[in-house]
Amino acid sequence: MKVYSDPVELSAHGTRRDDLLAVARFDAPVTVGADARAAMQRTADIVQHFVESDQPVYGVTTGFGSLASVVIPAERTAELQLALLRSHAAGMGPEVEREVVRGLMFLRARSLCLGYSGVRPEVADGLVALLNAGITPVVHEYGSLGASGDLAPLSHVAMVLVGEGVARDASGALISGGDALTAARLEPVVLRAKEGLALINGTDGMLGMLCIAIDDLTRLLQTADIAAAMTVEGLLGTDRAFAADLQALRPQLGQALSAANLRRILAGSPIVASHRLDDGRVQDAYSLRCTPQVHGAARDTVDHAVTVAERELVSAIDNPMILPDGRVESCGNFHGAPVGYVLDFLAIAVADVGALSERRTDRMLDASRSYGLPPFLSPDAGVNSGMMIAHYTQAAMVSENRRLAVPASVDTMSTSAMQEDHVSMGWNAARKLRAGIDNLARIIAVEITCAARAIDLRDPLLPGPGTAAALAAVRAEVPGAGPDRWLSPELAIVEQLVRSGAVLDAVTEAIGELV
């Protein structure tokens, strides 16, 4: 695990994906910059003026949603904010992962620090203090529709900030929000007007999960190129289809990068060279030959997601917005459509990359299409089933990923007595994408496990330096083909090698960085 000693500073100008990942995944410390404090104080003063003048302002001196016409007396505005958190902390279902909650907290503090939410610096300080103390509010799977922000998830966070709700401390123990603050020697935040609303009116959960997904997919798509190259060797395929001049005829950036990886990984392969001449096959199957086109399209989808995420990371997400000239304007920046769409796009790409991996795996197991490999990669097929059921497991996850690729962002619903009559479902899109990415890591692991066996079975032909490094990483943990043995633990080991980046690291150490 990486260790960060230098803190991530929140400014009035947004943040970066690397900072979000450092905090969410690696517990980097966080501070609030002086420019952010000044920006927050300016609009907090504007909000206080509205409260003192009894001027009707949505969410400040009025109710919320369809109750926006209900005016709240000045002496009850703080009560309004606390009641909002309690009523909106209505999540249900399993707990959300720690890294997601930390990302959610960091990004909400980030948005507040831009200075358009009308909150005091003390509110952002409170969120930062929770992060630095390792306190993780319990957030549930269900509760966000992705418009008006991730309301329920953020409300569960805010409840701990004010000394209520439930959290896990730095050791993972489940305790009350009040006890968590006491143990960390933190004081509950006492909310003022607008501050409860500002704490929950953001797309921070779905954005955090998007940034985490981009990080995961960047590595997984490189590892998918490695898996494909191993399968090309295992099936006595050719690298000619990946030639740079052929790829340049279709100038898609992701395709070019994936093809470049395949060429580099397969460079110097005695297995590939062994049948370069006098091979009666005219061309490989699509699942091999079209790998750069599919993997490349997925890369291009990730690049588009990066563009959207980086715009969001410098965006002010709240409603209403408190502008420096004193205006308070309702807007729709809390709507998660921009993020929800790309989360769904990524789920489609994830499903297709997994489907291609499964097709390559299937060819290695079928003796009629594997060019000399034994059935199911078992030297003693019949008594032994080899990798037959590993492929079934892989196929089951491919099928699930196809279901998960059905867009959530088209499934709007009407809520809040028809006031909030179109929602993004971006949170749901993010949750199913996480499941799809988990499956993709396992799908690739099955292909690598099978391809490693296939390469072994080509002995005395040797793999190239790139694939040999991947094979060595696998063989250091998992033995090769032989009599049937319990496969599940071995597949789990290779899955971890994929997730941790160990396979990717082994290859890049041998042949240099992939693109």
Answer whether 257's CB lies under 8 Å from 290's CB: no
Backbone angles phi, psi at 224, to 5 degrees: -65, -35
Joined together, the tokens standing for residue 119 give: 């909150």
Helix 204-234 to helix 426-456 angle (10° resolution) is 20
Give the whole-angstrom CA distance, residue 109 versus residue 273. 56
Please give the span between the terminal C-alpha atoms of the chain, in angstroms, as a whole number: 23
Q: Which of 358, 373, 367, 393 is nearest to 287 (CA)?
A: 358
Joined together, the tokens standing for residue 321 give: 């917005």
Note whether 189 and 221 are same-domain residues: no
Answer whether 100's CB lies under 8 Å from 209's CB: yes
Note whether 254 and 375 are same-domain residues: yes
Please report the pLDDT score of residue 1 as a whole number: 63
DSSP-derived pairing of the beta strands 8-10 and 30-32: parallel
Answer whether 263's CB lies under 8 Å from 244's CB: yes
Domain end point (choices 202, 228, 252): 202
Give the whole-angstrom CA distance, residue 399 versus residue 354. 9
Give the whole-angstrom CA distance, residue 403 versus residue 439. 12
Report yes or no on 1 lying in a domain: no
Strand partners, 321: 329
Joined together, the tokens standing for residue 87 give: 């009523």
Please report the pLDDT score of residue 423 as a whole number: 82
Residue ranges in the chain modelled with pLDDT below 50:
none
Note whether 316 and 400 are same-domain residues: yes
> What's the total number of domains in the chain?
2
Domain end point (choices 153, 174, 202): 202
Note whether 471 and 362 are same-domain residues: yes
| Cβ burial, residue 182 (10 Å; 0-12/13-18/19+) | middle
Give the pLDDT confidence of 342-383 residue by residue, as tens digits: 999 999 999 999 999 999 999 999 999 999 999 999 999 999
Please report the pLDDT score of residue 404 as a whole number: 98
| Cβ burial, residue 275 (10 Å; 0-12/13-18/19+) | middle
Note whether 243 and 148 are same-domain residues: no
Answer whether 403's CB lies under 8 Å from 354's CB: no
- Domain hosting 462: range is 210-511
Please report the pLDDT score of residue 369 as a whole number: 95
Report yes or no on 2 lying in a domain: no
Report yes or no on 235 lying in a domain: yes
Note whether 186 and 320 are same-domain residues: no
Give me the CATH number covering residue 293.
1.20.200.10
Give me the CATH number covering residue 100.
1.10.275.10
Answer whether 503's CB lies under 8 Å from 226's CB: yes
Report yes or no on 334 lying in a domain: yes
Asked about 58 being catalytic, the answer comes back as yes
Answer whether 255's CB lies under 8 Å from 297's CB: yes
User: 482 vs 357, 375, 380, 474, CA distance in Å?
Assistant: 24, 13, 8, 15
Answer whether 165's CB lies under 8 Å from 137's CB: yes
Residue with tokens 């104080």: 41
Q: What is the DSSP letter of 240?
A: G
pTM of the model: 0.95
Note whether 437 and 360 are same-domain residues: yes
Report yes or no on 17 lying in a domain: yes
Cα torsion through 216, 217, 220, 222, rounded to 10: -120
Domain end point (choices 202, 229, 248): 202
Answer whether 376's CB lies under 8 Å from 385's CB: yes
Note whether 172 and 274 are same-domain residues: no
Active-site entry in 4, 58, 142, 371: 58
Answer whether 142's CB lies under 8 Å from 93's CB: yes
Report yes or no on 190 lying in a domain: yes
Give the whole-angstrom CA distance, residue 374 versus residue 365. 8
E strand spans, 207-341: 321-322, 328-329
Q: Is 126 helix (H, G, I), strand (E, B) or coil?
A: helix
Report yes or no on 3 lying in a domain: no
Note whether 190 and 246 are same-domain residues: no
Helix 121-132 to helix 151-161 angle (10° resolution) is 90
Note whether 291 and 228 are same-domain residues: yes
Note whether 243 and 271 are same-domain residues: yes
Joined together, the tokens standing for residue 444 give: 């690739």
Q: Which residues contact 56 (CB under 8 A, 6 or more apart)?
A: 62, 71
Joined together, the tokens standing for residue 63 give: 């109710």
Give the whole-angstrom CA distance, residue 462 versus residue 176. 59
Please report the pLDDT score of residue 424 as a whole number: 83
Give the pLDDT confidence of 201-238 residue by residue, as tens digits: 999 999 999 999 999 999 999 999 999 999 999 999 99
Any idea what the Cα angle at residue 147 is, between residues 144 and 150, rounded to 5°? Answer: 40
Note whether 398 and 459 are same-domain residues: yes
Report yes or no on 117 lying in a domain: yes
